[in-house]
Each structure stands twice: as structure tokens, then as C-alpha cells.
Amino acid sequence: MDRGGNLLYIDLHAHILPGLDDGPQTLQESLQMAAMAVKQGIQIIAATPHVVEGIYENEKSNILENVRKFQAVLLKENIPLKIIPGAEIHISSHIFTLFKNKELLTINNAGKYILLELPHFQPIPPYLENLVFQLSLEGIRTIIAHPERIISVQKNPNILIPLIAQGVLLQCTLTSISGHFGEETCKTVEVLLKSSMVHFLASDMHNTGGRLNLIQESLRRIEGLVGKENAKNMISHVPEMILEGRDLRIPYSQLDQMQIPKRNLWGFPRGVFAPRGQNRDQGC
């Protein structure tokens, strides 16, 4: 992949603002992360601090102000990185109320795409599809963050198919393919990539550790699975459309290859999961 000046590398999921969540706690660490991101070729980052009821009560106005302040420091320090606002919002039955109260922060505050986090260890809430539908009626498109790390998805990736059919986009973490989150996550992201169920990739950086250090290695592995052009689209073209609030349509061919007979709706599509005991490479 050409990672030179012609490639606009956009990271739409990153915990880089200091002191707001489980990301960096100091401005100095945030600046170190920013410098490392630039060295990896990243030019634009969506700062997406966690929004979790009772844990990380990051209000929209506070995130916007912190983005403004951090961008000013980056300019002062001559770090060529653009920061845009966002949030990783943990699923809650109150999300639609946040929207109605104009408190829901979308990617780039553009009123189009919301980054939603699902529980890692509990079943996917039964009201998710209705929430996605309600938001869609208001012109809001849902993005699910790192589905490959959700236990229920690892057990059966087909549970994502109805969501994709609703227009939900899936964002996977780059370094999942390198085994950073363990073998099951690595296997699952490989399945999703091979099945064209990943719409874009992001770092989900939290500190100066492995996620930032493994980006280039992870990209090479992903290129080997889906090809250079598809990998480029997932870190450049698709994030750019989301950043601009444009209407991103999933190609019909992408959905067609995931269709399975209704009688087997919750069974594994043929060829998606390898038989038990089959060797896997790509660092899983």
C-alpha cells in the first residue's frame, strides 16, 4: 500500500484526549501519542472518549471544548495532526433521549454517524435493532465499534447480518489481526474481513503502547487478506466519507455474499468459519 502523501489516512476511533476516560491521563502522553500517530502516517484523528452512564459522563460540550484546546496545543507544538470531535457511546436505552436533547455527539459533530459500543461479555441488548431504526429515521447512521471483541459475535458472526442489512457499519480495530487482543479476537476479525463484513478500520488507541506500535504490521496482514485496494479504502476512502457526513452505501455484492437460507439464519455461512483443527496463519 502506498502510504505516501497521496493517501489520506484517517483514524475515526481514538482515545487521545487527556484525562477524560481510560486513555491518556496527561497532556504530555496525549502529545506523545499524536507524534507517534503522525509517524504511522495518520493525518486526521477523531477523538472519541468513552461515554458510559455513571462512569464516564463526558458531555458533548465538554468533548468539543477539549478537542478545541488539544488542537491548539498541537498547532503550538508543530505536530501536523488534525483532531475532530466524536465519542464512543456505550449502548443505553437513553441514547435516543440524548439525541432528542441535542446531547448526542456524532462523528465530527456532523449529525450523521454515531459510534456505538456494545457490551463485550453480555448478550447484545434486544432493543439494539429498534434503536438503530429510530436513529435512522432521524438521519443518524450507527457504527458498531470493534465487533470482533464481542463474545457473542465471536461465537456467531451471523448475528451481525441483520444489523448490516439495516445499514449499520462495522469498525474493527487494526491491531486485532495481530493478536493484540488474543486468539479468538484475531480469528474473528479474520472471518469478518474475509466475509466483507468490515467497513472501516481504526486504531482505538488508548496510550503509547501496542496499538500504536503495531499499526503498520497489522496493515500488512490485512492487505494479505483483502488486498491493498480494499485495505486502503478501509483506512482512507470510507473514513473520509464518514468524516464528511456523506451517505455511505454498502455495495449489494457485499451483502449478497453473506446471504444464507432462512432456515439456517443463525447457522454459520458455508466457508466463513474454518473447520476445527484447520491451521490458521496471519498471526492468530
Q: How far apart are the first and last CA of the chain?
A: 22
Task: Tell me the average pLDDT across 183-208.
Answer: 95
State the amino acid at position 138 in one-letter form.
E
Instruction: Give Cβ neighbours of residue 228 (< 8 Å, ≥ 6 apart).
Output: 1
Cell readout for 32 is: 506523545
Domain assignment present for 179: yes
Q: How confident is the model at residue 211 (pLDDT cuts 50, 70, 90)?
A: confident
Residue 200 is predicted with a pLDDT of 97
Residue 210 is predicted with a pLDDT of 75
Rounded to the nearest angstrom, the gap between the alpha carbon of residue 193 and the centroid of all alpha carbons in its chain is 13
Domain assignment present for 265: no
Domain assignment present for 137: yes
**By residue range, what is the domain housing residue 86?**
10-260
Domain assignment present for 284: no
> 59-110, pLDDT tens digit by residue?
999 999 999 999 999 999 999 999 999 999 999 989 999 889 999 999 999 9
Residue 160 is predicted with a pLDDT of 94
Domain assignment present for 271: no
Q: In what order do the strands lie in the sheet containing 113-117?
A: 50-51, 88-90, 113-117, 141-145, 169-173, 200-202
Residue 250 is predicted with a pLDDT of 73
- SS3 state of residue 14: strand
The angle at the Cα of 154, spanning 153 to 160, to the nearest 5 degrees, equals 25
> Do 209 and 222 form a contact (C-beta atoms < 8 A)?
no
> 152-181, pLDDT tens digit by residue?
999 999 999 999 999 999 999 999 999 889
pTM tops 0.95, yes or no: no
How does 133-170 read in b/e, with b if 16+ C-beta sit within 10 Å?
Answer: eebeeeebbbbbbbbbbbebbbeebbbbbebbeebbbb
Q: How far is CA 279 from CA 158, 268, 282, 283, in A?
A: 22, 19, 10, 11
> Do 171 and 13 form a contact (C-beta atoms < 8 A)?
yes
pLDDT at residue 264 greater than cutoff 80: no
Q: How confident is the model at residue 231 (pLDDT cuts 50, 70, 90)?
A: very high
- Per mean pLDDT, which range of 5-9, 209-213, 277-281 is the poorest? 277-281
Domain assignment present for 5: no
- Per mean pLDDT, which range of 133-137, 167-171, 187-191, 244-248 is the poorest? 244-248
Task: Tell me the average pLDDT across 148-155.
Answer: 96
- Give the number of domains in the chain: 1
| CATH number, domain containing residue 172 | 3.20.20.140
- Per mean pLDDT, which range of 34-38, 123-127, 272-276 is the poorest? 272-276
Residue 6 is predicted with a pLDDT of 63
Domain assignment present for 267: no
Q: How confident is the model at residue 251 (pLDDT cuts 50, 70, 90)?
A: low
- pLDDT more than 90, % of the chain: 77
The helix (run of H) or strand (run of E) holding residue 10 is: strand 10-14
Domain assignment present for 22: yes
Q: How far is CA 183 from CA 63, 158, 173, 179, in A?
A: 34, 19, 14, 6
Q: How confident is the model at residue 209 (pLDDT cuts 50, 70, 90)?
A: confident
pLDDT at residue 284 greater than cutoff 90: no
